[in-house]
Structure 1
């Protein structure tokens, strides 16, 4: 009997020879009768498939979940270019590699992965069974510069961060790998909800103080593999031209938009904009979450996602 919830890993070669690390949850990838969900992690050059795996593993009984390291991230090759067009071609290659019964699949994007998911929906919308967006924005320049301003003035880190280094981070002008790591580590706390909610969540999940999983990287068990070149390209080049505000009405896929009430990086207003302009979208606010409701309110997050997918 085939295990319908097994996990497998693979290395998939793209058309330019770049190799991507892929993990498939929910049984053999060859079982195309089972629907496919491809999950896009955030933060190029920082986050990896671990975030997607931790977020969507609960779907293994229902979906083949394809979690992978985007080119330039994790264990995948660092072969440039680091553009939305190239990352979208990689999604297409993975969709074809995994196979589907009708050519359609669900695309899920978190944070920066949401930017790419929106661009994919505008490029290949006919291939989407559904779109799942979590804590993302619609305008690269407004989003990144607004995030910079809110991060450096956050009471959690104000006066404790190197402001010039944060400017280089959010504008894509980092000078080294070490600077990338330092700039991320000094602002990790701003991705979480208020302290009293963090303490409440830890008690509910049986997590002892000091043992809470990292705010960005999945279950926090593996140190990120920093690639400052991918970060620089994403924020110095891609964010300069990424703006889907006037095209949201073109997205016809059923869309679930989720956001944490206390997210200062991709604040609620962006998700409200998406939900109001995408014709078949619904918005769910997570009142006790920061930048990652899947981590902050896992029970509500999983229920919300599963009900949406079952309605497709």
Structure 2
């Protein structure tokens, strides 16, 4: 079943949104992914229990273009999400974010917790996570740093064929799996998405000054923090830091996962999420 596409006109521009599932509303997005009707693996983990809104931020898909670079910041993106929530008619909703989507979830919770029933923060960080962590694949000391950087730069190219893009994406993803030989088992459906080079390049700059750890206590929404024990992108110490900083937050570490516990331990992930929302 494909996702239903709609365009949501708000006070801050028009956004491409995909809907699927039934239940209480839950929004999902990522800082630089471009979604389409095929959906998203992380978002799929919630459709059995929620009406999920998968959102293309500005410069992604058919959503609004920016007129000024500051519109690409995490805080401005949160304000865009709020405008979408209001236009959809919800007093409150849930928000789930994985990786940079999880970083956005942190910022959302800090500044507008009153609009959130529940936060799901998966494989994320509340501050820049590369410089001081040699376990991070984005740290120059990591043995696979150069290859990861090369793959990212190649994926930014707009003239790649579908086959070239797929090959590069597969290789990049395998670098963040505990058992890369299981790739075909995890990614077995026809979900396809692209990367917004504009947003990716902006995030790469914004990340260097990103640190909201001292504001974590401002998050009042019910929060679950998820990490993979072998995460090479956002090492688990950063998830622990988030959970420690949020009053009442629950931390769940997946012991046989790298950066994708919603796939690497998919059934367990769904059980943990369901228990959290019950």
TM value normalised by structure 1: 0.73
Q: 1:119-177 deviations in whole A, cap 9, x for unaligned?
A: 1111111111111110000112xx1435787326555x47x7286x58xx6xxxx6993
Contact 2:38 2:191 in 1 (8 A): no
**Residue from 72, 97, 102 that aligns with 1:114:** 102
For structure 1, list consecutive stretches of 5 or more residues without a partner in the other structure. 28-33, 203-209
**Residue from 70, 93, 117 that aligns with 1:129:** 117
Give me the whole-angstrom Cα distance separating, in 2, the residues matched to 1:235 and 1:91.
21
Q: Does 1:211 align with 2:184?
A: yes
SS across alignment from 1:150:
coil
Higher-strand-fraction structure = 2
Q: Does 1:188 align with 2:188?
A: no
Q: Which residue of 1 aligns with 2:29?
A: 40
Q: Does 1:221 align with 2:208?
A: no
Give me the whole-angstrom Cα distance separating, in 2, the residues matched to 1:261 and 1:147.
14
Q: Which residue of 1 aligns with 2:58?
A: 71
When the two structures are aligned, how many residues end up with a matched partner?
Answer: 267
Q: Give, in angstroms, the shift of residue 22 of structure 1.
A: 0.9
Give me the whole-angstrom Cα distance separating, in 1, the residues matched to 2:61 and 2:108.
22
Q: Which residue of 2 aligns with 1:89?
A: 79
Contact 1:147 1:265 in 2 (8 A): no
TM value normalised by structure 2: 0.81
Contact 1:147 1:264 in 2 (8 A): no
Q: Give the CA RMSD over aligned residues.
A: 3.3
Relative distance call for 1:65 and 1:221 in structure 2 (3 A) is: closer
Relative distance call for 1:116 and 1:290 in structure 2 (3 A) is: same
Give me the whole-angstrom Cα distance separating, in 1, the residues matched to 2:173 and 2:134.
13
Q: Which residue of 2 aligns with 1:232?
A: 201
Q: Give, in angstroms, the shift of residue 48 of structure 1.
A: 2.8
Contact 2:2 2:38 in 1 (8 A): no
Give me the whole-angstrom Cα distance separating, in 2, the residues matched to 1:266 and 1:119.
16
Q: Give, in angstroms, the shift of residue 25 of structure 1.
A: 1.6
Give me the whole-angstrom Cα distance separating, in 2, the residues matched to 1:135 and 1:227.
20
Q: Tell which structure's C-alpha radius of gyration is larger.
A: 1
Q: Give, in angstroms, the shift of residue 85 of structure 1.
A: 2.4
Give me the whole-angstrom Cα distance separating, in 2, the residues matched to 1:125 and 1:64.
20
Contact 1:109 1:134 in 2 (8 A): yes
Relative distance call for 1:250 and 1:267 in structure 2 (3 A) is: same
